């Protein structure tokens, strides 16, 4: 029960990593505000309550400042404060290259994927710091970045640029919150089966090619949302009390290597 009586916001909680994280936070005693642009937030909160947990929901746009403010205020009103913000919401922006990407598209991707986490920090961090001082315990902010933000090859230019910004934002915020007892870290998922990647996984299953999904990482598979959610929970918990300003790749080992000719385990390279 690492999060017993702690107040937690999860954005993008309507599906995928956000839904998995909200469910796990609640299962460990957290009181969760499930936030999403869709009514999936309501479904996640209801599922948590049906399981005996505590949750409320709100439909919001993660890149709109007034919506972020409303979401933080809901946590304050409903649960008396705020301990954890998991700024997870994001969009893909398609796969167009630099020369075919419309300026309006990259602007929208940056608004949701980068300005969204910025707003989450701006409005949540002071409240988390207040709670930390009142209760003499630390608080945490977790941002969802991506391996696409580490180096090229895992997403479109718009998406990759936005997630690289999230990684730096986590580091910068950790520094600017010095002395507040609020840690800021990012997770960098590799290929994970979420609403965003559902078409890829559905196609692979229908075509009998699931063995090719995630084949470029050493584990030779994609991830499930719960595998990313567990890392987010670790970073939000006191188990990670000395982890701050970091971007943790959760990608099956994909980002551990530069491009090479791979050899099979137990076989001699040809």
Active-site residues, by number, are: 159
Dihedral angle, C-alpha 150, 151, 156, 161, nearest 10 °: 50
Q: Give one DSSP letter per residue of 43-83, joined into a string.
A: HHHHHHHHTT-EEEEEE--TT-HHHHHHHHHHHHHHHSS--
Helix (H) or strand (E) holding 22: helix 16-27
Cα-trace Rg, the chain: 19
CA distance 81 to 73: 9
Among 66, 69, 109, residue whose Cα is nearest residue 89: 109
Strands 247-250 and 31-36: unpaired
Q: Are 22 and 11 in contact (CB under 8 A)?
A: no
**What angle, 0 to 180 degrees and rounded to 10, lies between the N-to-C axes of helices 116-135 and 65-79?**
20
The helix (H) or strand (E) run that includes residue 201 is helix 198-206
Strand bridging mode 182-189 / 139-144: parallel
């Amino acid at each position: 029960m690492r999060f017993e009586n702690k107040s937690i916001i999860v954005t993008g909680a309507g599906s995928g990593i956000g839904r998995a994280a909200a469910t796990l936070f609640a299962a460990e005693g957290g009181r969760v505000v499930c936030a999403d642009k869709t009514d999936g937030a309501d479904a996640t909160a209801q599922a948590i309550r049906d399981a005996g947990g505590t949750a409320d929901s709100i439909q919001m746009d993660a890149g709109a400042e007034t919506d972020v403010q409303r979401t933080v205020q809901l946590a304050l009103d409903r649960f008396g404060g705020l301990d954890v913000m998991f700024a997870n919401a994001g969009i893909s922006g398609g796969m167009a290259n630099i020369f075919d990407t419309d300026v309006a598209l990259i602007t929208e991707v940056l608004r949701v994927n980068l300005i969204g986490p910025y707003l989450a920090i701006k409005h949540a961090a002071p409240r988390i710091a207040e709670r930390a001082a009142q209760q003499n315990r630390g608080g945490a902010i977790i941002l969802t970045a991506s391996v696409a933000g580490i180096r090229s090859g895992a997403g479109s230019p718009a998406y990759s640029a936005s997630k690289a910004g999230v990684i730096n934002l986590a580091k910068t915020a950790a520094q600017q919150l010095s002395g507040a007892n609020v840690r800021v870290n990012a997770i960098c998922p590799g290929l994970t089966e979420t609403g965003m990647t559902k078409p890829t996984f559905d196609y692979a299953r229908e075509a009998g090619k699931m063995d090719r999904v995630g084949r470029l990482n050493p584990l030779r598979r994609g991830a499930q949302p719960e595998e990313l959610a567990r890392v987010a929970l670790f970073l939000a918990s006191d188990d990670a009390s000395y982890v701050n300003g970091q971007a943790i790749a959760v990608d099956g080992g994909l980002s551990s290597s530069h491009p090479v000719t791979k050899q099979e385990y137990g076989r001699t390279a040809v």
